[in-house]
Amino acid sequence: MTSLTIRRPVDLHVHFRDGAVLRQVVPYTARQFARAIVMPNLVPPVTTAKMAADYRSRILAAVPEGQDFVPMMTCYLTDHTDPADLVAGYRDGIFVAAKLYPAHATTNAQHGVSSIDRLDPVFAAMSEHGIPLLTHGELVGPHVDIFDREKLFIDQVLIPVLERFPQLRLVMEHITTQEGAEFVASRGANVAATITPQHLLYNRNALFEGGLRPHLYCLPVLKRARHQVALRAAATSGSAHYFLGTDTAPHVKRLKEADCGCAGVFSAPVAVEAYLKVFDEDGALDRFEAFASLNGPAFYGFAPSETRVTYSKAPHVVEASIAVENDEIIPLFGGTSVDWTLQQQL
Ligand code: NCD
Ligand code: ZN
């Protein structure tokens, strides 16, 4: 196949940040995606409908003129989330979901939830009103091996929560393990997962290839090869349990190439092409539209895009870096050639 025409993709997991970084990165996502679900881990976190509405306005102001793009907002859950506020924000069409960060699990998760059991009133309200719960699925603690975090989260958090709230709509964000993929597939249509390009393209060897590779460091961290194989099989299966969520997470170079570097891969400039590489290699281009443009909207209950886009198998070189203030952000595949290129929108 030398070209592929599909409905415009949707990114079900992005980080835009704020201020100068937001203005630089939003156009990359808006160029490729009809919509995106925007993560709330700002400083301070987006915990109220008012904060989310203001943040949405700042995102829309950064969308290039004439570009159709709909940002969809999420609420950052804390130990103090008021279920009534969350439901009101959802009913008003400001929040589409709520995000659970276990405290200290990742970037700006210090305000996250310290005791998940105490959130039962919030989960009850979410279950009753059909509000999706998005999880950063890692159990963290001083004695937890970083490579085991996802499986422990499934066993110790997700399974008990779903036992208490079997109807809860749940997206396990950025799954990284075979156990994550199998867990999602074993549940009903109310449970789904996003998968990032980096977890399909790489395994943990890539983090150390010829030296330390800070720009491939993200959380949850890349796992061993058997997990990568399982994730590729899941993503390319066509199953409605899995959909595109890049987890594009920009951090400036100074904070990535540091003694204690930040977690996050900035993939927005080349995200669709990166996924296409995987589907092409695995002979699954006929299932790409389901993963990229249909499954996510079906789970969340909005219509897929009416616009069609064509990707051609024609190489282009990805920008090596993106200037921001006095620093730069290094994109995935920066400075190298990729096989697929966005051609046209119909
Ligand atoms: C994300 C970020 O930087 O906001 N980082 C990452 O490595 N994925 C947070 C997250 O999704 O864990
Ligand atoms: Zn994320």
Distance 2 CA to ligand 1 centre (A): 34
Locate the domains of the chain by residue range.
Answer: 9-306
Task: Spell out, as residue ranges, where the chain has pLDDT lower than 70.
Answer: 345-346
**Among all chains, which residue has been given the structure tokens 């704020």?**
18
Atom from ligand 1 closest to the CA of residue 196: 8
> Dihedrals φ, ψ of 133, to 5°?
-100, 120
Q: Single out the residue of 237, 340, 343 nearest to residue 290, CA to CA.
A: 237
Topology annotation, domain 9-306 = TIM Barrel (3.20.20)
pLDDT of residue 1: 77
Longest Cα–Cα distance of the chain, Å, equals 53
Does pTM top 0.85 for this prediction? yes
pLDDT value at position 186?
98
The one-letter code for the residue type at 153 is F
Contact in structure between 20 and 46 (CB atoms under 8 Å):
no
* Catalytic residue list contains 92: no
Query: What residues have CB less than 8 Å from 10, skipping those under 6 apart?
Result: 33, 34, 35, 36, 243, 244, 292, 293, 296, 297, 304, 305
Strand partners, 309: 6, 345
Per the residue annotation, which of 145, 247, 280, 282 is the catalytic one?
A: 247
- 272-300 burial by CB neighbour count: b if 16+ within 10 A, else e? bbbbbbbbbeeebbebbbbbbbbbbbebb
The predicted pLDDT at position 346 comes to 57
133-136 and 95-100 strand pairing? parallel
Residue 345: the pLDDT is 65
Q: Is 342 in the pocket of ligand 1 (CB under 6 A)?
A: no
DSSP-assigned states of every residue in 43-107? SS---SHHHHHHHHHHHHHTSPTT---EEEEEEEP-TT--HHHHHHHHHTTSEEEEEE-BTTSST
The CB of 273 under 6 Å from ligand 1? The reply is no
